[in-house]
Amino acid sequence: MLDIVLISVGKMKEGYYCEASNEYLKRLSTYAKIKIEELPAEAFRSESDKKKSKKAEGDRLQSVLKKYSEAEIFILDENGLELTSHKFANKLSEGERKKLVFVIGGTLGLSDDILEKHENKLSLSKMTLPHELVKVVLLEQMYRGACINSGKQYHY
């Protein structure tokens, strides 16, 4: 069984994203133990506030990631590696031996410290997506990957 932690900056607010996320979490429960950690986003009003907020969010993320030093950590970043669903399923399969941690940035993205410190970067799209939608798409791809790995007919 997969052991996954999904860390995101910002909480799910929109009901439709929450419903979709909960549906995929329910489907995934057969294949994985998933822990969701939602860190509070920092408020900002000006351009200089954005830098401070992004840094504060990065520091908070770094503090949480220390708990997972033995895990394989994947940072979601638009400049990261793009994988097919099958290759992502292979990554999940390889990770069955250890905890997998996926990190989703907030409105401002991820701090340079986070991006520089962690090598494994994944991209779901070269387009910028709302962090709530990224969470839903990531959960769907985790479910798709688990189905591919188990031979269940979901991916055609």
Q: For residue 57, give Cα distances in angstroms to 45, 70, 110, 139.
A: 15, 22, 8, 22
Average pLDDT, the chain: 93
C-alpha to C-alpha distance for 128 and 131, rounded to whole angstroms: 9
Rounded Cα distance, 112 and 58, in Å = 8
* pLDDT at res. 156: 64
- The packing angle between helices 15-28 and 131-150, to 10°, is 20
pLDDT (0 to 100) of residue 155: 64
Distance of CA 71 to CAs 3, 37, 97, 140, 142, Å? 10, 15, 10, 21, 17
- 144: tokens are 């798709």
Query: Can you give the residue ranges of every domain in the chain?
Result: 9-149
The pLDDT tens digits of the residues spanning 25-48 come to: 999 999 999 999 999 988 888 888
pTM for the whole thing? 0.93
**Span 106-150, pLDDT tens digits:** 988 999 999 999 999 999 999 989 989 999 999 999 999 999 999
Q: Which CATH class is domain 9-149?
A: alpha beta
